[in-house]
Amino acid sequence: MTEIDELLTEVATASRRYLSSLPDRAVRSELDVASVRAMIDTRLPEGGVEAAEVLRDLIELGERASVATAGPRYFGFVNGGTLPAALAAELLAVAWDQNAEMAVMSPLAAVTEEVAGRWIKDLLGLPLTASIGFVTGGQSASTTCLATARHHVLAAHGWDVDTKGLRSAPLVNCLVGADRHAAIDAAFRSIGLGLPNVIVDADEQGRMSPGSLSEALRSCEGPTILCLQAGNVVTGAFDDFEDLVRLAHDVGAWVHVDGAFGAWAASSPARRHLTAGMNRADSWAVDGHKLLNVPYDCGYAVTAYPESHLRTCSSTASYFVTGGTDQPRDGMNWVLDLSRRARGVATYAALRSLGRAGVADLVDRHCCNARRFATSVSEEPDIEVVNDVVFNQVALRFGDSDAQTSAVISAVQEDGTCWAGGASWHGRTVMRWSVANWSTTPDDIDRSARAVLEAHRAVRAQEAVAPGSL
């Protein structure tokens, strides 16, 4: 066997072993950061080490220092798992080492993006004429979309931002909801627009208030961008797109939707109502690595204005000779990168392996499992489900104190049956629960609910023995 044969065989064996251990292994990492540093943080070796030895050590490290985010009982942040077809396709894409920059570099990369992109727009009910770029995730998707929005709204006011930049440009009003994701602020900042200048009130679930938006728009003159949200990262709530998009369009604003995970509601007949009117926005940021369960990293930047998108992203380097008009699109024209991994391959494999019905079923299972969990833990006195569980997110409060809630979160993480993190919601600490893995079964939910109840009871018992210890 050649060296690469041996390495790939080893990788396949180790990957199989890891994946089959997921249903039973502790979800938390066995090693903490300090132990990992102690194991591998050395000076750069002068001479190289045999690839087989490097790999052997990495396999041991990966098995001990990874968090089982790929497994069925990880509910932290909004981290998706990996569908078998998508995982296998991703491994192949890495072996092929294709560059998705230009069609001439890889018809494979170009056409898988073209086809998968069309399927995504179809599934999410977005205009089939929309443009799409394959990016690293939700934040980069929003950055790409908002850069396009910046170009578009400034051009409409006679300013060419692509040649003149923002020096002396008209002020761009950036409106966001009070409970937007932090990625939106980061996206605005990175395109030179600074922090959003208008924060619109949101209700107790994090939905933007139409009355407040209408009020806020009255004071906005000139180029305006509004960010809405499909899926609040704590509550899973959706903005009322019908009303909000109309109000914004009445004053000529560009509407961007952060739909990192929530946009997928549109793919399910049972949840589609949550996204009513979303398709009338002007751009959408969507993740592949969350609910769709494509491996990290993968997101999609979609805009209703291909011309503005192209003007924003396309390289001006004239030495590139690209194909004729019958050629597939060049991926680089729709993202802020040039060279890039062939992300279309895994997305194509995921969507083809699921089909339309399979995508809807995947999304519905995330949601049903979230509801099952919420129902089960809410039977316990002293546990409050803080949000309306309309999608895949559940926010829990224990004994109405930040300290008790934090103590339960730590106890759950330490126990290792499952993993959930904390978040702050309207000034209170909550345990945030996100169901986003294809392999999670109702039994996993029940086991996890039991682990949460046990942690809760242990924390309560400790508080009874030593009052004020929290």
Ligand X SMILES: *Cc1c(COP(=O)(O)O)cnc(C)c1O
Per the CB < 8 A criterion, the answer to whether 279 and 126 are in contact is yes
The minimum distance between CB 433 and ligand X, in angstroms, equals 14
Radius of gyration of the chain (CA): 24
Please list every residue from 58 through 87 that binds ligand X, using CB under 6 A: 78
Q: What is the DSSP string of 197-251?
A: SEEE-B-TTSPBPHHHHHHHHHT--SSEEEEEEBS-TTT--B--HHHHHHHHHHT
The minimum distance between CB 142 and ligand X, in angstroms, equals 7
In whole angstroms, give the CA distance from residue 47 to residue 218.
66
In whole angstroms, give the CA distance from residue 170 to residue 167.
9
Listed ranges 67-75, 135-143, 239-247, 372-380: which one lies at the site for ligand X (CB under 6 A): 135-143
Beta bridge partners of 214: none
Tell me which residue has tokens 């001479």.
47
The minimum distance between CB 261 and ligand X, in angstroms, equals 5
- Which residue's Cβ lies closest to ligand X? 138
Select 18 or 77, whichever has its Cβ closest to ligand X. Answer: 77
Listed ranges 22-30, 132-140, 208-216, 245-253: which one lies at the site for ligand X (CB under 6 A): 132-140
Question: For 388-441, where are the alpha helices, taking DSSP H only?
Answer: 402-415
- Give the residue, chosen from 137, 206, 331, 344, that forms a contact with ligand X under the rule CB under 6 A: 137
Select 141 or 452, whichever has its Cβ closest to ligand X. Answer: 141
In whole angstroms, give the CA distance from residue 188 to residue 123.
28
Select 177 or 328, whichever has its Cβ closest to ligand X. Answer: 177
The minimum distance between CB 287 and ligand X, in angstroms, equals 5
Per the CB < 8 A criterion, the answer to whether 228 and 239 are in contact is yes
Please state, in angstroms and as integers, the Cα–Cα distance from residue 263 to each residue in 7, 24, 363, 467, following that order. 39, 32, 10, 45
Q: Which amino acid belongs to residue 121?
A: K
The minimum distance between CB 232 and ligand X, in angstroms, equals 7
Q: What is the dihedral of CA 426, 299, 293, 371, to 10 degrees?
A: 30
The minimum distance between CB 103 and ligand X, in angstroms, equals 26
Tell me which residue has tokens 């080490």.
49
Please state, in angstroms and as integers, the Cα–Cα distance from residue 390 to each residue in 238, 330, 435, following that order. 9, 39, 12
Residue 133 tokens read as: 């770029």
- Give the residue, chosen from 74, 261, 391, 419, that forms a contact with ligand X under the rule CB under 6 A: 261
260 near ligand X (CB under 6 A): yes
- Give the residue, chosen from 112, 139, 404, 440, that forms a contact with ligand X under the rule CB under 6 A: 139
The minimum distance between CB 52 and ligand X, in angstroms, equals 34
Select 261 or 284, whichever has its Cβ closest to ligand X. Answer: 261
In whole angstroms, give the CA distance from residue 470 to residue 459.
9
The minimum distance between CB 136 and ligand X, in angstroms, equals 7
Q: Which uninterrupted H or E stretch holds 12?
A: helix 3-21
Select 113 or 258, whichever has its Cβ closest to ligand X. Answer: 258
Select 261 or 391, whichever has its Cβ closest to ligand X. Answer: 261
In whole angstroms, give the CA distance from residue 274 to residue 237.
9
Listed ranges 256-264, 363-371, 404-412, 423-431: which one lies at the site for ligand X (CB under 6 A): 256-264
Per the CB < 8 A criterion, the answer to whether 308 and 334 are in contact is no
- Give the residue, chosen from 150, 181, 256, 366, that forms a contact with ligand X under the rule CB under 6 A: 181
- Give the residue, chosen from 258, 282, 330, 337, that forms a contact with ligand X under the rule CB under 6 A: 258
Listed ranges 120-128, 131-139, 407-415, 417-425: which one lies at the site for ligand X (CB under 6 A): 131-139
> Would you give the binding string for ligand X spanning residues 285-304, x where CB under 6 A is met?
--x-----------x-----
How big is the site for ligand X, counted in residues (CB under 6 A)?
Answer: 13
* Residues across the chain: 470
Please list every residue from 183 through 202 that binds ligand X, using CB under 6 A: 183
437 near ligand X (CB under 6 A): no
Select 259 or 344, whichever has its Cβ closest to ligand X. Answer: 259
Select 72 or 231, whichever has its Cβ closest to ligand X. Answer: 231
- Give the residue, chosen from 117, 196, 231, 344, that forms a contact with ligand X under the rule CB under 6 A: 231
Q: How many other β-carbons are positioned within 10 Å of the β-carbon of residue 458? A: 14
Phi, psi of 315 (to 5 degrees): -75, 145
The minimum distance between CB 190 and ligand X, in angstroms, equals 12
Select 78 or 370, whichever has its Cβ closest to ligand X. Answer: 78
Instruction: Return all residues near 168 (Cβ < 8 A) that are at least 6 apart.
Output: none
216 near ligand X (CB under 6 A): no
Beta bridge partners of 258: 229, 285
Per the CB < 8 A criterion, the answer to whether 276 and 242 are in contact is yes
Which residue ranges make up the site for ligand X (CB under 6 A)? Answer: 78, 137-139, 181, 183, 231, 233, 258, 260-261, 287, 299
